[in-house]
Amino acid sequence: MNEFANRKVYIIAFFVLAGVVILGRLFYIQVIDSYYKRMADQNVMRYEIQYPARGLIYDRNGKLLVGNQTVYDIVVIPRELAAFDTATLSQVLEISPEQIQATLYAIKSKAKKTAAYQPALFRRHVSTEAFALLQEKWFKFPGFYSQARSIRSYPRRVAGNLIGYIGEVDTTSIAADPFYTQGSYIGKIGVEYSYEKALRGKRGVSIYMRDVYNRVKNSYANGRLDTAALPGDNIVCTIDATLQEYGERLMQNKAGSIVAIEPATGEILTLVSTPNFDPELFIDVHRAAERNALSTDPMKPLFNRAVMAQYPPGSIFKCINALIGLQEGTVSEHTTYSCQGGYSVGRRYVGCHYHFSPTNLPQSLQVSCNTYYCHVFRGIIDKYNDPRKGLNIWRRHIESFGIGRKLNSDIPNELRGILPTTATYDRMHGENRWKSPTIISLAIGQGELGVTPLHMANIAATIANRGFYYTPHIVKSIRGERPDSSFLVPHATTVNSSHFEPVVQGMYLAVNGDFGGTARIARIQGVEVCGKTGTAQNPHGEHHSVFICFAPKDDPRIAVAVYVENGGAGAKWAAPTASLIVEKYLTKNISRTWLESYVMDANLMPHNHAQTKQ
């Protein structure tokens, strides 16, 4: 056998060869190929997003409008479930034991081998109080865990459709912005929507190590790669919470809107749209039915009438026609027209109510004389002997008040309103087949006109400022800074400020005139209120009650527009409501409690169908 001794060499060579192959392969997968390192990271790293607390929203006086609260999602890990105290759980969570069993059964049957280690949602949004009760006896519930979650809280429950709400993000938003992932929240309407970027904050991420069952073991690299969540910026609104709350109470059981603006800044003090909704509906997961009912409600509570409803302005438009007439020189402060209960031209007739006659310009506003404004309007349109040119010039003046275009406020979904062009009338009547009498409805704010309550309030503010306005806005500051410098730029109208005094005088007389003033109900002891009523004709039913005003006359601090759908004459509901708002804001006190209860107790809601004009 010793003749085979040299075979030792071959055998050792074979061993060494195998060793070299193994080491070569090890060198390749450990040192050269990075694929396995990536796979390893993919195996063990779990990125857990740290959701920042959303920014808070305050009113102009620092009162909290929207806060955050912590609620708890109760989750179960199916693998760890054991017998537990069903009675206590049922009592605290207010669900029946049968329901508990059914939920657990559904979770268990869904969880397969590995999913049995994954937490499954058992109950969403358990309040802190209920959770505290559970926590004392937590040991009685093996396999149950909790996840804290920050949701919105609404300490005042006001301005639902102004502030808006947050909800789960939809697929288009996920595709558009990598910030959002399935299940994250986003502002849907209102301030929550327009200031989403500021409010949402910056997400953080914690990287955890997990095991093969997806159980978290510990943090990766001792948390060196983790980033903290930055809370969202706090927002201070221009809204006065007290006034807003008061406005909502005044408007209860009525469809319509109140918009109050601080003329000197364009800051919106109050923006009421009714019917409203309770913002709490959007945070309470157990009130889904009520929430869903909102979108099918014929009165459209989710619809922000203040910026999205385009109404005929009615007689409040006379103020603007007066201003344009003065600017164009077709009428002066002292021009008088007599009124015999109506204005008739050709086949057209515009009726007027009974009042003293003749009137000069301020008096015409005081009594809201239709005849006077038919004269004024025809004067403007016919000034150039060409109704097309006349209409275009009239239109340009109107636009300078922000009407017929978006005001570019920070309220989402703001509508531009309706303002007719020559093309509108060419389409309606045929080219060049219309003249000033054809479009005479525009004289009194009827016809092819649509303005939003925000536009109306802006008109009031512009008159109060005697010729300019600041873009109305609802956010005063974000983290102490002005959100948009464009809000600081005054927008001048095409009407010289000197022409405003007679109109202001007329509006003053409408409220404070000795007799014949249409808005005497809006008079406030010790406050010089200037206002103008409007009664917008509504082909579908009762007229809409409209009123704009500002006060005090010489140092305006508030401009208000009120629109009450189907409220009848402007003096009936809109004027008292606006007047109460002004009084509440300027004096912090209501002297006319009878008027207050008169407005609050009124119920003008239709019982069968909606009559909202959009």
Partner 1 sequence: MRRRSNNLLTKISWSTIMIWLLLMIIGLVCVYASGFNEEHPRFFDARNHSRLQTIWVGMACIIAVFVVVIESRFYHLFAGFLYFLALLLIVATLIFGHEINGSKSWLSFGFMSLQPVEFMKVATALMLAKVAGAHSFRMQSARSAIPAFAVILLPFALTLLQHDTGSALVFTSFIIVLYRAGLKARFVVSCLFLVFLFILSLLVEPATVTIFIGLLCCCLFMISSRRYKACFTAIGIIAAITLTLHFGLRPLDADLPLFESLIVAHAVMLPVIVIYAWRRKLRYVAAFVVPLFVVSVGINYSVDYVFDNVLKEHQRRRINDLLGIESDLKGWGYNVHQSKVAIGSGGILGKGFLEGTQTKGNFVPEQTTDFIFCTVGEEWGFLGAVVVVGLYLILLIRIVNIAERQKSTFAKLYGYGVAAIFFFHIAVNIGMTIGIMPVVGIPLPFISYGGSSLWAFTILLFVLLKLDVGKYE
Task: Provide the binding-site residues for partner 1, judged by CB under 8 A.
Answer: 1, 3-5, 7-8, 11-12, 15-16, 18-19, 21-23, 25-27, 29-31, 33, 35-37, 39-41, 43-44, 209-213, 217-218
Omega within 30 of 0 (cis) for the link into 275: yes
**Closest approach of partner 1 to the CB of residue 117, in Å:** 11
Instruction: Evaluate whether 549 touches 560 at the Cβ level (below 8 Å).
Output: yes
**Closest approach of partner 1 to the CB of residue 44, in Å:** 4
Backbone angles phi, psi at 576, to 5 degrees: -60, -40
235-237 vs 256-262, strand pairing mode: unpaired
Q: Which is nearer to partner 1, 117 or 384 (CB)?
A: 117
Instruction: Evaluate whether 376 touches 540 at the Cβ level (below 8 Å).
Output: no
204-210 vs 185-187, strand pairing mode: unpaired
**Closest approach of partner 1 to the CB of residue 5, in Å:** 7
Cα separation of 250 and 332, whole Å?
Answer: 39
The CA-based angle 606-538-440, given to 5 degrees, is: 170
Cα separation of 233 and 195, whole Å?
Answer: 10
Q: Which is nearer to partner 1, 12 or 488 (CB)?
A: 12
Q: Which is nearer to partner 1, 175 or 212 (CB)?
A: 212
Q: Which is nearer to partner 1, 45 or 95 (CB)?
A: 45
The dihedral region occupied by 603, where left means phi > 0, alpha psi between -120 and 50, and beta the remainder, is: beta
Q: Which is nearer to partner 1, 41 or 554 (CB)?
A: 41
**Closest approach of partner 1 to the CB of residue 152, in Å:** 38
Cα separation of 303 and 374, whole Å?
Answer: 35
**Closest approach of partner 1 to the CB of residue 216, in Å:** 10
Q: Which is nearer to partner 1, 211 or 555 (CB)?
A: 211
**Closest approach of partner 1 to the CB of residue 172, in Å:** 32
Q: Which is nearer to partner 1, 7 or 334 (CB)?
A: 7
**Closest approach of partner 1 to the CB of residue 49, in Å:** 21
Q: What share of the chain is helix, strand, coil (3-state, %, to 5)?
A: 40, 20, 40
Q: Which is nearer to partner 1, 212 or 289 (CB)?
A: 212
**Closest approach of partner 1 to the CB of residue 209, in Å:** 6
C-alpha torsion sign, points 285, 289, 291, 295: positive
**Closest approach of partner 1 to the CB of residue 8, in Å:** 5
Q: Which is nearer to partner 1, 216 or 428 (CB)?
A: 216
Cα separation of 213 and 192, whole Å?
Answer: 39
Cα separation of 175 and 166, whole Å?
Answer: 18
User: Residues of 453-471 as b/e, b for ≥16 C-beta within 10 angstroms?
Assistant: bbbbbbbbbbbbbbbbbbb
